[in-house]
């Protein structure tokens, strides 16, 4: 089965530093998502992206966050100035049609630790 | 907005027994309810889903039931096997917000 790949698997950073989390969605998918999961808490929606634009974002996705599709294969999440509370597992996901009843394919996640 | 509660947070069963995980949702407009399985070191993978026009759906050893009136849905795994050990997430969508709202997850351990 096709896979969404995420790099790195673990990222450690100092508070206030910028981090970029990288994802390669499934090649024929057009809709891309970022979710995060703080340890012991729910998987939370951050943002959805289609046609080089943000489709929807949650309250969590504030001005410190941005997403980009810099080329035809990568999809990135940037956190400009990390805070301790940004420590979480970040999941990238994609699907083909972007409708909510469609299966989401998730990557294995990037564990971000902000010290 | 939608809120999904999931119970129990951990579940331990003997191989061959059944396992049941329950979720409740708050938004009566939600109409799509998927279940995801997350194995160690991997991302969540869809294992079964149900739409609100259906009360039950089964796929081999896995079944999901939905009670729209009570706003709860459950995952049933029969004849559990050690490879069923994982974290299971329920989710809901289709209500006031289109994106999936997840439960907290249930860590299922199947002891041989």
pLDDT tens string B33-72:
999 999 988 888 999 999 988 899 999 999 999 999 999 9
Distance from CA of A87 to the nearest CA of B (A): 17
- The answer to whether residue B97 scores a pLDDT higher than 70 is no
Confidence band, pLDDT 50/70/90 cuts, at residue B98: low
Tell me if the bond preceding B8 is cis, omega within 30° of 0: yes
Mean pLDDT of the residues in chain A = 91
Helix (H, G, I), strand (E, B) or coil at B105: coil
Give the B window 18-57 contacts with A, CB below 8 Å. Answer: 32, 34, 36, 41-46, 49, 51
Distance from CA of B77 to the nearest CA of A (A): 20
- pLDDT value, residue A42: 84
Confidence band, pLDDT 50/70/90 cuts, at residue B84: very high
Helix (H, G, I), strand (E, B) or coil at A84: helix
- pLDDT value, residue A95: 87
- Average pLDDT, stretch B5-14? 97
DSSP state, residue A103: P
pLDDT tens string A22-72:
999 998 898 999 999 998 788 899 999 988 999 889 999 999 999 999 887
- pLDDT value, residue B96: 56
- pLDDT value, residue B99: 78
- The answer to whether residue B95 scores a pLDDT higher than 70 is no
Mean pLDDT of the residues in chain B = 92
The rounded distance, in Å, linking the Cα atoms of A92 and A23 is 6
Q: Helix, strand, coil % (nearest 5) of chain A? A: 5, 50, 50
What is the SS3 assignment for A3-50? Answer: CCEEECCEEEECCCCCEEEEEECCCCCCEEEEEEECCCCCEEEEEEEE
CA-based nearest residue in chain A for residue B42: A108
Q: Report the residue of A101, A109, A111 to disrupt the B interface, i.e. the one with the largest count of B CBs within 10 Å.
A: A101
């Amino acid at each position: 089965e096709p896979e969404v790949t995420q790099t790195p698997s673990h990222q450690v950073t100092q508070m206030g530093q910028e981090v970029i989390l990288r994802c390669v969605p499934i090649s024929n998918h057009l809709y891309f998502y970022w979710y995060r999961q703080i340890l012991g808490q729910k998987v939370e929606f951050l943002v959805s992206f289609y046609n080089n634009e943000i489709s929807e974002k949650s309250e969590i996705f504030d001005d410190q966050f941005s997403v980009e599709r810099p080329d035809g294969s990568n999809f990135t999440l940037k956190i400009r100035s990390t805070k301790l509370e940004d420590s979480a597992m970040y999941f990238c996901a994609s699907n083909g049609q972007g409708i909510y009843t469609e299966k989401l394919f998730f990557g294995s996640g990037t564990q971000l630790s902000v010290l | 907005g939608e809120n999904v509660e999931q119970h129990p947070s951990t579940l331990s069963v003997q191989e061959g027994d059944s396992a049941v995980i329950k979720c409740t949702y708050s938004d009566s407009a939600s109409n799509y309810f998927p279940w995801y399985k997350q194995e160690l070191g991997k991302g969540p993978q869809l294992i079964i889903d149900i739409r609100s026009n259906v009360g039950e759906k089964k796929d081999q050893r896995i079944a999901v039931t939905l009670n729209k009136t009570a706003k709860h849905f459950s995952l049933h795994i029969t004849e559990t096997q050690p490879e069923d050990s994982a974290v299971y997430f329920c989710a809901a969508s289709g209500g006031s917000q289109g994106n999936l709202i997840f439960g907290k997850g249930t860590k299922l351990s199947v002891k041989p």
